[in-house]
């Protein structure tokens, strides 16, 4: 790839093989769903999480958006799966921006990921 490639290796890997793309398929006591969108660019992100014993047992996403959004969603899902629910509130955009080398102009799209995770966390807290 030329040096001015807008997508780093992590973005390409996550975009090409988004293993967490789809819907929660297992049966869990609780399945949370967050559906967020950005009207300006038409981007939309749906994240669903199967919750069991205070853990995110399964998490999946669906995205309509640029490769950076898809990669960010894939990355956070892979990090959250099989982890404690509290982590939903801990992941922010700064780390993602750096890791995926997201252009500053696309910051708003990454906020979608943060919004979705916060929404899931709120739902989990309310359900307790």
Query: Given the complex with other proteins, which of 6 and 84 has the nearer CB atom?
Result: 6
Instruction: Write the interaction track for other proteins spanning residues 46-85; mark x where CB under 8 A is met and - where it is not.
Output: x---------------xxxxxx--x---------------
Query: CB 29 → other proteins: shortest distance, Å?
Result: 24
Q: Residue 15 interacts with other proteins (CB under 8 A)? A: yes
Nearer to other proteins, 33 or 55 (CB): 33
In angstroms, the CA 78 to CA 90 distance is: 15
Q: Binding residues for other proteins, how many (CB under 8 A)?
A: 21
Find all residues with CB under 8 Å of 48, minimum gap 6, and list them.
23, 24, 31, 32, 33, 34, 59, 60, 61
Q: Are 33 and 46 in contact (CB under 8 A)?
A: yes
Tell me which stretch binds other proteins (CB under 8 A): 7-15, 83-91, 93-101, 115-123: 7-15
Shortest Å distance, C-beta 46 to other proteins: 4
Residues 6 or more apart in contact with residue 53 via CB below 8 angstroms: none
CA–CA distance, 20 with 58 (Å, rounded to integer): 9
Whole-angstrom distance, CA of residue 3 vs CA of residue 8: 10
Gap between the Cα atoms of 118 and 112, Å rounded: 10
Nearer to other proteins, 18 or 50 (CB): 18
- Give residues in contact with other proteins (CB under 8 A): 7, 12, 15, 18, 21-22, 35, 41-46, 62-67, 70, 105
């Amino acid at each position: 790839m030329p040096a001015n490639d807008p997508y780093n290796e992590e973005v390409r890997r996550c975009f090409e093989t988004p293993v967490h793309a789809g819907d929660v398929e297992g049966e869990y006591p609780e399945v949370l769903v967050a559906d967020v969108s950005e009207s300006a660019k038409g981007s939309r992100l749906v994240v669903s999480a199967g919750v069991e014993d205070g853990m995110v047992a399964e998490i999946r996403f669906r995205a309509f958006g640029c490769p950076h959004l898809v990669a960010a969603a894939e990355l956070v899902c892979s990090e959250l799966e099989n982890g404690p629910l509290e982590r939903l509130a801990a992941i922010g955009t700064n780390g993602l921006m750096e890791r995926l080398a997201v252009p500053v102009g696309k910051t708003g799209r990454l906020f979608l990921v943060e919004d979705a995770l916060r929404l899931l966390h709120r739902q989990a807290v309310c359900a307790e």
